[in-house]
Structure 1
Amino acid sequence: MFEGNREKQKTLAAFEFKPGKVERGYTDRRLYINLSENKIKERSIDPQVRETFTGGRGYGIWYLWQAVSDKTKWNDPENEIIFCTGPICGITQYSGTGKTHVVSLSPETGTVNDNNVGGYFAPFLKFSGWDLLEIQGKAKQDVIVFIDGNQGKVVIEEATGLNSDTYLLTEELAKRYANDEKDKRNISIISSGKGAENSNLGIINISWYDSRRKHIRVKQAG
């Protein structure tokens, strides 16, 4: 860490894992986080689910279906937001393989909504050993979920004193979690901007580092 004050952030939960090996596009593991209970767990992906739904959006819709009922509203703690990878995620020979599929119940329709968004988050998640990230519950305060794929650790930390502007926020967090300027390219940040603070329907931002311009950029899913 070359700037920032990460050491001042209170850790609410921590979980250690062994980075999984990607075999034929899959790790067969999903990372589950419950923000109401500050719990972090590893869950497996059944081979039958893999064969039936392939990955990406299919995984997201299936696991959302398992988590909610016909009575679940978009703002209920039972609702999940799921970030999914596909089996060719991160393969540089094909364009678009870095896409993250985002699945949740929509505040606009009350039914399933899925989007895909560019950036580096999905490849980083896959190379850390996870096929998807499943977040459920409501945090009691603003929090940061930090996944360290190199050290094999996931932490939930209090988020205090952060800027609500998307670009300023991503710069702050990149400085906080990167080891140096060059390491910023290994950081991808998921956030929501000011619009999400003032309306029910917001945008998910996923950052990536532009090495040529030495600047953080963001792409949106909404």
Structure 2
Amino acid sequence: MRTSDLVDLLARDNLVQQPEGWSLAAAMTGGFVMAVLLTMGFLGIRPLAVLGGSDVLAKLLFTGGLFALSIPALRRSLRPGSALRWSRFLPLIAATGVSVAAVAEMAFASHIAVWRPDTLICLTTIPLLSLPALAILALAARRQAPTNLSDAGLWIGLAAGALSASAYALHCPNDDPVYLAAWYLPAVLIAGLLGRTLGPRLLAW
């Protein structure tokens, strides 16, 4: 049997267990819990009185929105024989544009520092926190036998990055929306690049 025939068979039949139900949801939940535990253990979280405030809620809505944007493309990328379509990247391109605009806004606003002492921490910690979620999601996604491993890895990394950004938001003292757009988005994109790099190894049978 040719490889293309096998891919067509996997795409049509139910030979591959679908992680789009409980297993994928469980993997996402497990990845988020791991990121939260790591944040609590190594960074600490803000006081409960602050966490219940509108600023932190707005940050969680922002990072949750990034996560929600990644899910449709992630699910499509996991299907055997899924072709790479540029339309999947429109949310990613839009998010990048928002990030660039936010950095420009900070650069032209004299009262806002573009680079803050904790910016590098944000850019490195979010991708590092995403690694457990990335691994857990990849193990669940592997059961669907995706064929475009780099594409699938990218979206797994972006989803994991958004989950870890939500966990990091519980620690981060910066509530400025411009700061979120300027630095949280690039951190999530870095996690996506990690997923694209590691995806072929984690997802291969």
Which TM-score bucket, shorter chain as reference? under 0.3
Structure in which a larger fraction of residues adopt strand:
1
Instruction: Return the structure number with greater relative CO, CA threshold 8 A, min gap 6.
Output: 2
Give me the TM-score of the superposition, normalised by structure 1. 0.25
Structure in which a larger fraction of residues adopt helix:
2
Larger of the two Rg values belongs to structure: 2
Give me the TM-score of the superposition, normalised by structure 2. 0.26
